[in-house]
């Protein structure tokens, strides 16, 4: 059985690499794409790859006029929610690679997915090394009561923290709430230097040239620390295999929202 895929954000940094991956993936067919800049063209014309004959549309609603089994969302936070809801309305399952959506956004998406009997798999990161960091960190949180998270990204990344770190903080907060040594309200000096609170933990977002994407969680106990860190390079290739797996597996999940690539991995 071949799954028809619509890719929103198909000409972006991550989306274009995924489009090339879809072109050679068994059992998957890219039938439409969303990119305002290249609307009216084909992906072959937009990306210079003759294997990609899918038409490009300006909006998700237009792209979904073609029969679609799975909608892949890889655009921007300000358009992602509307795209996802449109895909669910058209009866497609959805994989979300866009970061920056809020918990309130995901609550609305979960409600819509359940109403339509479709699954949404939202992944803050499709890289296997990040998935493993999340799982290792969840195990560590069972035994170590205190941790903080550092979110690394390039200087122009607008959302802070990243979707990857939002997911990580949320997962750890469900294992247990960290135990701060000093309550934030007792901080002397500039309280903001202690970061923002997410999932009960302090999160620090670094936005500087030289970084692409990365996440670090530091666990602390008396006289010992444990540091887990994921770093991504300048290529989007590490995210392709995970995204293809998510696209293949999302329809097998129960209706509603699911967070994390590990939901379709045997970990």
Q: What is the pLDDT of residues 66-106, one digit of tens each?
A: 899 999 999 998 999 999 999 999 999 999 999 888 889 99
Domain 128-232, CATH number (from 3.50.50.60, 2.40.50.100, 3.30.360.10, 3.40.50.2000): 3.30.360.10
Domain boundary assignment for the chain: 3-122+236-264, 128-232
Q: Tell me what pLDDT residue 170 has.
A: 93
pLDDT at 137: 98
**Band of residue 266 on the pLDDT scale cut at 50, 70, 90:** confident
pLDDT value of residue 61 = 94
pLDDT at residue number 185: 84
pLDDT in tens, 23-76: 999 999 999 999 999 999 999 999 999 999 999 999 999 999 989 999 999 999
Rounded distance, CA 37 to CA 24, Å? 25
Please enumerate in sequence order all residues whose Cβ is within 8 A of that of 186, keeping only pairs 6 or more positions apart, or say none.
none
Which among 240, 237, 239, 258 is positioned nearest to 94, based on CA atoms?
A: 258
Q: E strands of 50-145, at which residues?
A: 56-57, 70-73, 93-96, 119-122
Query: Would you state the pLDDT for residue 105?
Result: 95
Residue 222's pLDDT band (boundaries 50, 70, 90)? very high
Tell me the average pLDDT across 183-200. Answer: 89
What is the pLDDT confidence band of residue 267, given thresholds at 50, 70 and 90? confident
Instruction: pLDDT band for 181, please (50, 70, 90 cuts).
Output: confident
The CATH classification number of 3-122+236-264 equals 3.40.50.720
Structure confidence by residue, pLDDT tens digits, 102-159: 889 999 999 999 999 999 999 988 998 999 999 999 999 999 999 999 999 999 998 8
Could you tell me the pTM of the whole model? 0.80
CA-atom Rg of the chain in angstroms:
19
């Amino acid at each position: 059985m071949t799954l028809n895929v619509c890719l929103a954000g198909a000409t972006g940094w991550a989306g274009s690499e995924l489009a090339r991956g879809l072109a050679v993936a068994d059992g998957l067919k890219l039938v439409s794409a969303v990119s305002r800049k290249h609307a009216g063209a084909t992906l072959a014309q937009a990306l210079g790859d003759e294997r990609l004959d899918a038409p490009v549309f300006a909006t998700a609603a237009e792209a979904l006029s073609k029969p679609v089994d799975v909608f892949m969302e890889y655009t921007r936070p300000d358009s992602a929610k509307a795209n996802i809801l449109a895909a669910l309305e058209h009866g497609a399952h959805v994989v979300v690679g866009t970061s920056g959506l809020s918990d309130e956004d995901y609550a609305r998406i979960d409600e819509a997915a359940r109403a339509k009997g479709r699954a949404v798999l939202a992944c803050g990161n499709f890289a296997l090394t990040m998935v493993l960091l999340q799982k290792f960190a969840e195990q560590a949180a069972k035994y170590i009561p205190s941790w903080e998270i550092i979110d690394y990204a390039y200087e122009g990344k607008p959302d802070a923290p990243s979707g990857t770190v939002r997911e990580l903080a949320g997962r750890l907060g469900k294992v247990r709430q960290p135990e701060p040594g000093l309550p934030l309200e007792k901080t002397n000096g500039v309280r903001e230097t202690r970061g923002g609170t997410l999932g009960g933990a302090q999160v620090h977002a670094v936005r500087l040239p030289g970084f692409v994407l990365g996440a670090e969680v530091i666990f602390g106990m008396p006289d010992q620390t444990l540091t887990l860190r994921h770093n991504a390079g300048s290529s989007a290739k590490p995210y392709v295999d995970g995204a293809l797996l998510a696209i293949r597996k999302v329809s097998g999940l129960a209706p509603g929202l699911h967070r994390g690539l590990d939901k379709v991995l045997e970990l």
